[in-house]
Structure 1
Amino acid sequence: MPFSPAHFCSFCIQKALRLLLLLIAVAALSYTLVNVSPIDPVDAYLGPAVLKVSPEQRDIISQRWGLDQPPVERFLRWGAQLVQGDFGVSTIFNEPVLTVIGKRFATSFWLMLLAWSISGIAGFMLGVLAGTYENRTADKLIGMYAYTMASTPTFWVGMVLLSIFSIHLGWAPVGLAWPVGLSPEEATLGQRIHHLILPAVTLSFIGTAQIALHTREKTIKAMHSDYAQFARAQGESEIGIAFRHALRNVALPAITLQFASLGELFGGAVLAEQVFSYPGLGMATVEAGYRGDIPLLLGIVLFSTVFVFTGNTVADILYRIIDPRMRPAEEAA
């Protein structure tokens, strides 16, 4: 068994306590930053109509949202609502925050899942190939690609791909998650995939580079180990040594890095969705920011915290399952 029941319960309790403390710290910090922001929520909500609204009407809106109360009191009231499962109502969508997050995340999920899968598989294979043939042509080409992509902003990659494949070649849609004029329910699976490919490729380009660079270093170290030298002396080919001996040692760090990259994946999705006008959670984050939708913005921050923490926890569990040395001494025994 990878975990004994007692140690698994202890592990879960420790993780739950850490998540609780993290959420409290993130909530307090995010609320403080939002309150010192120069953006006035009422002005952002009204937009161009702000000049037509009287001071009395502004006061009514402020009272409805509780903006007339001191920041500490608003924070405590918001925290009490969170404990009850009430994240508030989005001011720009006029829906409960959890409903907006659920709808938008359902759209972003497939984008992030496809990009995450492509970057993990492609990055791992390229990293193993580069490390196996160190300082050869394959290694140099993969390194050139990886270092270039690792230092390239996601939005710039998206704009280049959009210009080439959407504007000049016309192979992909210019944006959105389904054709214009159709509702999400009316769009077919093929149409959704057609709109999904280019944003997913944009996200995976950056993720692939990071996984490849990390895996390359681990592969090089494994290829220079004693067991690799022994296998080489027995006449084993380089690719055989890599896949029969080095792969097991390289896979564990790659899996950990892949799950730990969920935070970067979420951040990249915010930029990619903005470039492609993809109506997911990333685009909702940007809208909530510049339009002063405080309840939605804070809700997305807390959701993303849980999302990233979950990825790190899964990586930790897999690490302990694959490598018994990572478990407590009494458990491993």
Structure 2
Amino acid sequence: MDILSGSSAVRTWRSSSWLAWLLRKSGGLLLLLLAVSFISFMLVHLSPIDPVQAYIGADMMKVSAEQREAIVQYWGLNEPPLAQYGHWLRAAISGDLGTSMIFRRPVLEVIGERFAASLALMGTAWLVSGFLGFTLGSLAAMNRRSWVDRLIRWYCLMLSSTPTFWVGLLFMLVFAVWLGWLPVGLAVPAGVLADQVHMLDRVKHMLLPALTLSVTGIAAIALHTREKLLDVQASPFWLFARAKGEYGMKIFWRHGLRNVALPWITLQFASFSELFGGAVLAEQVFSYPGLGQAAVDAGLRGDVPLLLGVVLFSALFVYTGNTIADLSYRLIDPRMKEEGER
């Protein structure tokens, strides 16, 4: 009976620990979304962009004062900023993010359509950069102080100091303009109906922005993996394995892989913020109609509902990546489980 009651108490303690962790994460997410939306709203309100002029566009001189006033009242721009934010917040809580001033469509519909395009781009770059970054970092650490290590470090340090948009312009110049292998931009061929666009056409238009994101995302993962593997190589169990005659892939597979895999997985999911930020620049360079380009258009043209919707979605996207990284530690590393149960 004592053993059963003890195991039951342990399960209850673990359940309460996980519940407390989920509540803490949920509360942090709500506070983050509230703070991000309020700061973004105030920054847009303080910007010099006139939302009415951005809404009307080139026909501004043809609009009378009465029509301008009607537009202001329709979008609620005549109310104080805090009142506007309060109206938006109440509607957002009920699931209505408003209507985009640019696209004249519901914000959720625009975000869903644009995110589908960005997801394919970011997902491809995330997988490629993660795999190549881990491979290059491990290869550099296993060949420390050799020409392979120096070449990989030079490559990573050079890319870490290179802006994403510059890499995109370089790839566009080489592969699209000089060689003509890939299209210059857009997500589909220009002037082709949607039902006539083939999957191969979409893949060809996605290759250059995905390659740009992949190349720039490799550096951080490779350097981090290299340092972690070097720390493992300095540990007693690694030195003992070397003393027993284990070298090369054998010692890496038995003692190195399992010790660097967890930091790599964590960094992979924590890199969602860099991935999303790089996607914004890559989509602008290649005119790729994704969520990043929608965010830039909304900011430049004063589309407050769309901008706030994109900001909320991007914050949720990045927070999800960080939460998955934290969760992977708790599920994989026994030491994190013990700390969570204390």
TM-score range normalised by the length of the shorter chain = over 0.9
Residue matched to 1:254: 264
Which residue of structure 2 lines up, in the alignment, with residue 65 of structure 1?
75
* One-letter identity of the residue aligned with 2:307: L
> Structure 2, unaligned stretches of length 5 or more?
1-10
> For the Cα contact (< 8 Å) 1:175–1:195, is it kept in 2?
yes
Matched pairs, number: 331
Please list the CA deviations of residues 267-321 of structure 1 after superposition, one character each: whole Å capped at 9, or x if unmatched: 1001101111111111111111111111100110000000000111111111111
Separation in 2, partners of 1:5, 1:147: 44
Contact 1:199–1:272 (Cα < 8 Å) also in 2: yes
**C-alpha deviation, 1:328, in angstroms:** 4.2
Q: Distance in 2 between matches of 1:202 and 1:83?
A: 37
Change over 3 Å in CA distance of 1:301–1:56 after alignment to 2:
same
Instruction: Find the counterpart in structure 2 of residue 243 from structure 1.
Output: 253
Distance in 2 separating the partners of 1:74 and 1:321: 43
Q: Secondary structure at the match of 1:43?
A: helix
Alignment of 1:34-183 (within 5 A): 34-183=44-193
Q: Which runs of 5+ in 1 are unaligned?
A: none
Structure index of larger Rg: 2
Output the TM-score relative to the length of structure 2: 0.93
Q: Is the 8 A contact 2:44 2:299 kept in 1?
A: no
Cα deviation per residue 1:91-120 (whole Å; 9 max; x = unaligned)? 110000000000000011000000000010
SS at match of 1:327: helix
Q: Structure 1, residues 224-263: CA drift from partner, whole Å, max 9, x if none?
A: 2111111111111133222220111111111111101101
User: 2:127 and 2:82 mapped to 1: Cα distance?
Assistant: 43
- Note if contact 2:129-2:215 (Cα within 8 Å) is conserved in structure 1: yes
The CA deviation at 1:186 is 3.0
User: How far apart are 1:166 and its partner, in Å?
Assistant: 0.6
AA aligned to 2:306 is L
What is the RMSD of the two structures over their aligned residues, measured on CA atoms? Answer: 1.5
1:311 to 2:315 alignment: no
Kept after mapping to 2: 8 A contact 1:158/1:272: yes
Distance in 2 of aligned mates of 1:315 and 1:184: 38
Q: Give the partner amino acid of 2:221.
A: I
Choose from 270, 291, 294 the match for 2:304.
294
Q: Which residue of 2 aligns with 1:18?
A: 28
Aligned residue number for residue 234 of structure 1? 244
Identity score, percent: 54
**d(CA) in 2 for partners of 1:330, 1:139:** 38
Partner amino acid, structure 2, of 1:190: L
Is residue 28 from structure 1 mapped to residue 38 from structure 2 by the alignment? yes
Q: 2:294 aligns with which of 284, 295, 298?
A: 284
The alignment's TM-score, normalised by the length of structure 1, stands at 0.96
Give the corresponding residue for 1:188: 198
1:224 aligned to which of 218, 234, 246: 234
